[in-house]
């Protein structure tokens, strides 16, 4: 089944080897070095998102241009995989610690089409990503809630290796990492898009005031 067909039918599709493992490792190394080499330096990036039961390190893409390069550069590929004309919204990096669990949730309106890319982990243990099989109603989209499990809903479980990614409809399908992270740390890059002419088009570039008119005075 073609990526776009599977994506429309199931709400997600696994993209094996979306980037080469050495590229994934290089990007991860650059990201970590830009944040710091010690726990004290990295603590500046520590956050406690409501959907995660332990603090994580986070870096917003607009504060780290290499992440935006991935987001913007992958847009034509993601357009082919979704069958949609898209505009990028935002990207962010997150490093989870051992034992972390990501609750079942759906995303905000800037995440109509989303990618979670597995960059690497300290112990190289798989940490499955899950996606619900039920498409959310308009009311559920408007009233997002985080839950400990999927309840009676069925869900798919996806194992990923470094360089793999899952493309999913972040607004319409709940997703999570239900098992505690088996690694000392696990690093991921999240990227998001909206339909160029769709209902969430006003969230383009995460509503930042760009693109602006460039100028090079001499």
Residue 163 lies inside a defined structural domain of this protein: yes
Q: Is residue 202 in some structural domain?
A: no
According to the model, what pLDDT value does residue 49 have?
87
**138 belongs to a structural domain:** yes
Q: Which residues contact 157 (CB under 8 A, 6 or more apart)?
A: 128, 129, 130
Residue 201 maps to a domain: no
Is 189 contained in some domain? yes
Is 216 within a domain? no
Are the beta carbons of 91 and 66 closer than 8 angstroms?
no
Residue 95 phi/psi, 5° resolution?
Answer: -115, 120
Task: Give the pLDDT confidence score for residue 210 in this predicted structure.
Answer: 79
The series of mean pLDDT values per 10 residues for the chain, 218 residues long, is 85 96 96 95 94 95 94 96 96 97 97 98 95 97 95 97 96 97 98 97 93 85
Residue-level pLDDT at 142: 95
Predicted confidence at residue 1, as pLDDT, reads 54
Residue 52 lies in a domain: yes
Number of domains making up the chain: 1
What is the CATH classification number for the domain harbouring 191? 2.60.120.620
Domain that holds residue 131: 3-195
In a domain, 72, yes or no: yes
């Amino acid at each position: 089944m073609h990526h776009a067909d599977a994506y429309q039918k199931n709400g997600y599709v696994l993209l094996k080897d979306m980037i080469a493992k050495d590229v994934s490792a290089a990007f991860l190394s650059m990201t970590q070095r830009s944040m710091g080499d010690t726990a004290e330096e990295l603590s500046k990036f520590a956050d406690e998102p409501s959907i995660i039961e332990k603090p994580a390190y986070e870096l917003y893409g607009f504060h780290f241009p290499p992440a935006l390069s991935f987001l913007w550069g992958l847009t034509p590929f993601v357009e082919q995989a979704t069958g949609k004309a898209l505009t990028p919204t935002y990207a962010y990096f997150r490093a989870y610690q051992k034992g972390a669990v990501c609750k079942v949730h759906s995303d905000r309106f800037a995440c109509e089409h989303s990618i979670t890319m597995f960059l690497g982990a300290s112990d190289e243990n798989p940490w499955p990503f899950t996606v619900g099989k039920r498409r959310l109603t308009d009311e559920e989209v408007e009233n997002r809630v985080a839950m400990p499990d999927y309840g009676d809903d069925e869900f798919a479980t996806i194992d990923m290796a470094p360089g793999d990614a899952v493309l999913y409809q972040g607004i319409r399908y709940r997703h999570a990492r239900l098992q505690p992270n088996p690694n000392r740390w696990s690093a991921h890059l999240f990227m998001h898009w909206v339909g160029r002419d769709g209902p969430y088009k006003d969230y383009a570039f995460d509503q930042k005031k760009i693109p602006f008119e460039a100028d090079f005075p001499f």
